[in-house]
Structure formats: structure tokens, C-alpha cells
Amino acid sequence: MGIALSLAVIALAFFVLYRILHDIEPREVLTAMRQVEGGDLLLAALCVAGAYFTLTFYDYFALKTIGRREIPYRTAALAAFTSYSIGHNVGLSAFSGGAVRYRVYAASGLTGIEVAKICAVAGLTFWLGNVTVLGLGVAFDPSAASAIDRLPTPLNRGFGILILAALVVYVCWVSMAERRLGTDEWMVRLPGGRLTLLQILIGIADLVFATAAMYVLMPDRPNIDFISLLVIFVSATLLGFASHSPGGLGVFDAAMLIGLRQFDKEDLVGALLLFRLLYYVTPFAISLVIIGVRELTIDLPWLSQKMRPHGDALDAGTEKPKSAARETHKREDGIR
């Protein structure tokens, strides 16, 4: 059912895109892209860098939450950046990004279950941030949400208030006592009230940076305020995420075109293409290079030889307990 629903959403999005863009002029799109000033491109790139920097704290926070405090930030940053940039582009980020995370964290001694816990806590941070921004934005500017869902503004404002109320209930719930999800080795301890607020701030910062990158690339006319764009951007992002389409391709773009129909289509498509280049394609290429270099470095013979004495020492260290265990068994047999 989930796969069928995702395919239905993607098919509907591409149908909407065809209806909107079937008469578009490619030359005008290229012209719109060329008209974006170099300073704006640089500022948008810095905002994207800020968004990915914030994403590194998703994993760093998750490591602290599951009790692996000895893992350094640089490892968390490597795992977060590569997993999110690859997962964003490949799609099914829970699996594709999770596989990249496991490859990075396994070298630091983390198990598959611990990596799954990291994914769960990082996912919770993502949803808390998105829900908070969406609730605040819709409650403050319900007309922006109406541009996408076509619902009356009072109803959208009610939804925003309801979302915020549910968020307050959740924060109070985790503040009153220690909360756990799962059983046995799969159990995850949920962050308490103060840490949940920190989670929310991390998620908000990520979305604000990403939206700011899009805002800088938007056409100057007609004017749109940042809050309205934030509501539309988050709604489009969640729709793209729910569809499991690679990079939200088609779904995110259709939602943005529907929510921002007051803009010239060619100008808006040019801005969306530049945003995809900065937010999706460039980090994806950088991550592939990082992962490739890392894999080659791990497999280099000189590095294996360098690591061997350490491995021999470990082997020697593990042999002693085995020998001691044998002597213990012999003594026990003699006593018997």
C-alpha cells in the first residue's frame, strides 16, 4: 500500500507538472538562470552549506542520545553529510542513507542496531523541526498553506494551532518522566523536555537555512515574504519526502509551482533548477568523492600493513583470556 501510494503521488505530481509546464519556453528558463547575480548564487550556496552543517548535528545529537558519547563530531559529520546528500538524491532515504551511515559508523564499532537507533532519533529531529515550522507558519500565515491545499484560511489556521497543541503535549509528555520506545536491544530512550527543545531548534535551523537558499534564488517580482515561502517550502518538502521520490523530484517541484503560481513559470523553474543544483547535485557529487576516497584509502595495502600491528596486538590480547580459560577448565576437571 505504501509503495502504491508513493507511485500514485509521483504520477499525480508529474501530471500536474505537465499541465503547468507543457508550454514553457526553455530559452526563457536559461535566461532566467543567467540573470541570477553571482553574489546571490554565493549567498545561496552559503545557506546550503549552513543547512548541511546543521544536518551534522542530527547525528551528533543522536549519538549522545543512544549513549555513544565517545564518537567524535567529525565521524558524525561525515556520516550525516554523506548519508543525507546521497539519501536525498537516491530516494528511500531510510534505506539508502541508513546503508551509508552503517558503512561509516561500523568502522567506529557501532552495531547495526545502534545505527538504526541513530536513524530513528535523527528522523525524530527532522519531524519535530518540520512540524514546528509548519505549525507556526500555518497558524501565522494560513493563506500560504491555502495556496497548496486549497482549504479555507480559517481551517488551515485551525490545523496550525492543532499541530502546535500536539507538539506542546509531546514536550510535556517527555518532560514528566523518562520515555522509552521499543523493547530489549531495540529500545530507544527519548530525549527529555529540554533536549527535545534542542531537537526542535536544530530542525528549525536546518529548514530556515534551506528556505533562505531558495529565497535568495527567487525572482524579485512579485514580492513574497520569507514566512510565506517557508510554509510553502516546508509543505513541498514534506510531500516530496512522503513520496520517496529521489530528491522529491516532481513532487517537490509541482508543489512549489502550485504554491507560487503568482510567479512567472520560466523564472520560477530557473530558480528551482539552481536550487536543485546547489542543494542536491553538488553535495551528492561531493559525497560520492568522499565515500570513494574513503573506500580506496581503507583498501590500500600500506594502510592495511600499518593497521596490522594493532590488529596483532588485539589478537594477542584475545588469546590470553582463551589460554587462561583453558587452564581454568583443566583445574576444574582435576578437582572433579
* DSSP letter assigned to residue 264: -
Q: Which pLDDT belongs to residue 323?
A: 44
In a shared domain, residues 207 and 320:
no
> Residue 150 — φ and ψ, nearest 5°?
65, 20
In a shared domain, residues 264 and 161:
yes
- Structural domain containing residue 271: 36-283
In a shared domain, residues 191 and 264:
yes
In a shared domain, residues 192 and 132:
yes
Q: Which pLDDT belongs to residue 3?
A: 65
In a shared domain, residues 336 and 242:
no
For residue 70, tell me if it sits in a domain. yes
Beta bridge partners of 189: 180
- Is the CB of residue 114 less than 8 Å from the CB of residue 62? no
pLDDT in tens, the chain (336 residues): 666 766 776 777 777 776 777 677 888 888 888 888 889 999 999 999 999 999 999 999 999 999 888 999 999 999 999 999 888 787 667 677 788 898 899 888 899 999 999 999 999 999 999 999 999 999 998 988 888 888 899 999 999 999 999 999 999 999 998 888 877 788 888 898 899 999 999 999 999 999 999 999 998 888 888 999 999 999 988 888 877 777 777 788 888 988 898 888 889 999 999 999 999 999 999 999 998 888 787 655 544 444 444 444 444 444 444 444 444 444 444 444
For residue 42, tell me if it sits in a domain. yes
Rounded CA-CA distance 282/85 in Å is 9
For residue 11, tell me if it sits in a domain. no
CA angle 254, 227, 252 (to 5 degrees): 15
Tell me the residue type at 205.
Answer: A
CA angle 201, 48, 55 (to 5 degrees): 40
For residue 122, tell me if it sits in a domain. yes
Rounded CA-CA distance 138/134 in Å is 6
Q: How far apart are the first and last CA of the chain?
A: 63
In a shared domain, residues 265 and 320:
no
In a shared domain, residues 206 and 334:
no
Helix and strand counts by DSSP (H, E) for the chain: 14, 2
In a shared domain, residues 322 and 181:
no
In a shared domain, residues 157 and 269:
yes
Q: How many domains does the chain have?
A: 2
Count of Cβ atoms closer than 10 Å to residue 172 Cβ: 11
- The C-alpha cell 535568495 sits at 216
Q: Which pLDDT belongs to residue 317?
A: 44
For residue 202, tell me if it sits in a domain. yes
- Is the CB of residue 273 less than 8 Å from the CB of residue 29? yes
Q: Burial code of 94-125, b = ≥16 C-beta within 10 A, e = fewer?
A: eebbbebbbbbbeeeebeeebbbbbbbbbebb
Q: Which long-range contacts (CB under 8 A, 24 or more apart) does 106-111 make?
A: 107/298, 108/71, 108/75, 110/68, 110/71
* DSSP letter assigned to residue 177: S
- The C-alpha cell 503547468 sits at 20
For residue 148, tell me if it sits in a domain. yes
- pTM comes to 0.81
In a shared domain, residues 215 and 333:
no
- Is the CB of residue 130 less than 8 Å from the CB of residue 234? yes
In a shared domain, residues 330 and 259:
no
For residue 234, tell me if it sits in a domain. yes
